[in-house]
């Protein structure tokens, strides 16, 4: 029986050639030509002036917080339905994440509920483009302008997704991507800060490199820094991946289309509800996330697992985690967590795979 993991990296010969080049030249640590190349190519791809590599997407959010001067006493608005890294980055700098419920249809932050959570301490809004579906950026930018707040996009899951005519990662003042092994393109572990601000880019570059300015006396550190660097090996892999991102995204869009087609009978009967695309957007469909109307979703996941189809549950609401428990009205995030599953979505899947996976789902749900 063929089995299907949720995601697998797709790595080609170009990536191997670049990584081998690092190994043969000896430039395997965090100096070398691929770092600058990956940064320049990624910045151009997103449509921003600067990109700075980091060792993962959590750290790149931390660097954004630090470089924007967010700290103790500040609040940042974060969707309640997200990966813990989004809220953790706020906590790392001593600020407080303030959670807003998500929309049941798009799974993204409910823009109609942002303003009621703004206080005099609010410094920023952090939209997260969940599972590759862009947030309602026009609304979010308007609210931010009106209340003089910064916008920080967590675009970890949405490489190559568009809202109107702009790519995600080009709206906020400083934004973050991840290149973890299961993301749309990978460096194994890795992240990127993107921004149009020269001074923010410089601040990120300084802080991620143990605060060692390139022109200063060796071992003179003007402020406390971090080692949050990416290696040349990782950047080589990332550059190779970025050069084929179009093809990977095209396949992801096809996979979404195939799921729509093959699961339609279940959608018609209201048993399956797919994540809805945000109006005016072009999602990247990093994964296919859907809600199921069945007695027990964990049991459904178990049955699918037995038939060779791996799934992942949805995120738990941040407000339910012990170290950041928060009171509030979050019915949608809670319902999604109970009813959602992520289906196999790797860019190596073909139409016959999605047909087979859909058949197995139909068999379990009958």
Ligand X SMILES: *Cc1c(COP(=O)(O)O)cnc(C)c1O
Among 30, 106, 178, 187, binds ligand X (CB under 6 A): 178
| Tokens (6 digits) for 187 | 């460096």
Strands 174-178 and 191-195: what pairing? antiparallel
Interface with ligand X in residues 83-102 (CB under 6 A): 83, 85-86
Q: CB within 8 A of 151, min separation 6: which ones?
A: 124, 125, 126, 127, 140, 141, 144, 171, 172, 173
Q: Using CB under 6 A, which of the segments 43-51, 151-159, 326-334, 338-346 binds ligand X? A: 151-159
323: exposed, middle or buried (Cβ count in 10 Å: 0-12, 13-18, 19+):
exposed
CA distances from 221 to 9, 226, 236 (A): 38, 11, 29
Among 90, 156, 168, 242, binds ligand X (CB under 6 A): 156
Q: How far is the CB of 128 from ligand X (least distance, A)?
A: 5
Q: Give the number of other CB atoms < 10 A from CB of residue 350.
A: 12
Size of the site for ligand X (CB under 6 A): 14
Residue 234 contacts ligand X per CB under 6 A: no
What is d(CA 117, CA 141) in angstroms, rounded to the nearest whole number? 16
Residue nearest to ligand X (CB): 57
Residue 64 contacts ligand X per CB under 6 A: no
Contact 118, 147 (CB under 8 A): yes
Q: Using CB under 6 A, which of the segments 35-43, 78-86, 103-111, 336-344 binds ligand X? A: 78-86
Contact 6, 287 (CB under 8 A): yes
The smaller minimum CB distance to ligand X, of residues 53 and 58, is found at 58
The smaller minimum CB distance to ligand X, of residues 58 and 278, is found at 58
What is d(CA 286, CA 277) in angstroms, rounded to the nearest whole number? 12
Q: How far is the CB of 180 from ligand X (least distance, A)?
A: 4
What is d(CA 150, CA 136) in angstroms, rounded to the nearest whole number? 16
Q: How far is the CB of 190 from ligand X (least distance, A)?
A: 7
Order of strands across the sheet that contains 340-343: 272-274, 288-292, 340-343, 312-313
The smaller minimum CB distance to ligand X, of residues 230 and 361, is found at 230
Contact 59, 86 (CB under 8 A): no
Token match 């997103």: residue?
46
Contact 34, 232 (CB under 8 A): yes
Q: Using CB under 6 A, which of the segments 41-49, 79-87, 337-345, 358-366 binds ligand X? A: 79-87
The smaller minimum CB distance to ligand X, of residues 259 and 315, is found at 315
Among 97, 191, 238, 344, binds ligand X (CB under 6 A): 191
The smaller minimum CB distance to ligand X, of residues 78 and 361, is found at 78
Nearest to 76 by CA among 138, 121, 134: 121
Interface with ligand X in residues 117-136 (CB under 6 A): 128
Residue 9 contacts ligand X per CB under 6 A: no
The smaller minimum CB distance to ligand X, of residues 109 and 309, is found at 109
The smaller minimum CB distance to ligand X, of residues 114 and 266, is found at 114
Interface with ligand X in residues 21-60 (CB under 6 A): 56-58
Site of interaction with ligand X (CB under 6 A): 56-58, 82-83, 85-86, 128, 154, 156-157, 178, 180, 191
């Amino acid at each position: 029986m063929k089995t299907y993991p949720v995601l697998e990296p797709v790595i080609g010969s170009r990536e191997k050639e670049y990584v081998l080049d690092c190994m043969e030249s000896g430039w395997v640590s965090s100096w070398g030509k691929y770092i600058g190349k990956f940064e320049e190519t990624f910045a151009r791809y997103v449509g921003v002036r600067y990109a700075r590599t980091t060792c993962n997407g959590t750290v790149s959010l931390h660097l954004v917080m630090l470089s924007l001067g967010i700290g103790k006493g500040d609040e940042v608005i974060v969707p309640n339905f997200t990966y813990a890294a989004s809220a953790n980055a706020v906590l790392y700098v001593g600020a407080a994440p303030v959670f807003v419920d998500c929309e049941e249809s798009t799974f993204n932050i409910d823009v109609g509920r942002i303003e009621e959570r703004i206080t005099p301490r609010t410094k920023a809004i952090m939209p997260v483009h969940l599972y590759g579906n862009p947030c309602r950026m026009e609304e979010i930018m308007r609210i931010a302008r009106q209340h003089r707040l910064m916008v920080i996009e967590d675009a970890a899951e949405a490489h190559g997704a568009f809202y109107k005519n702009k790519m995600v990662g080009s709206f906020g003042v400083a934004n973050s991507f991840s290149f973890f092994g299961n993301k749309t393109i990978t460096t194994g572990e890795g992240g990127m800060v993107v921004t149009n601000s020269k001074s923010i880019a410089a601040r990120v570059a300084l802080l991620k490199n143990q605060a060692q300015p390139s022109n200063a006396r060796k071992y003179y550190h003007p402020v406390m820094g971090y080692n949050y660097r990416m290696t040349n090996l990782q950047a080589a892999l990332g550059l190779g991946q970025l050069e084929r991102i179009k093809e990977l995204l095209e396949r992801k869009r096809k996979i979404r289309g195939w799921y729509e087609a093959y699961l339609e009978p279940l959608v018609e009967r209201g048993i399956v509800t797919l994540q809805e695309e945000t109006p005016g957007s072009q999602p990247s469909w990093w994964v296919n996330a859907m809600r199921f109307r069945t007695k027990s979703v964990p049991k459904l996941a178990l049955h699918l697992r037995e038939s060779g189809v791996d799934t992942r549950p949805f995120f738990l609401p941040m407000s339910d985690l012990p170290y950041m428990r928060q009171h509030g009205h979050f019915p949608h995030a809670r319902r999604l967590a109970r009813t959602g599953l992520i289906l196999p979505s790797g860019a190596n899947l073909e139409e016959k795979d999605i047909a087979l996976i859909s058949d197995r789902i139909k068999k379990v749900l009958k």
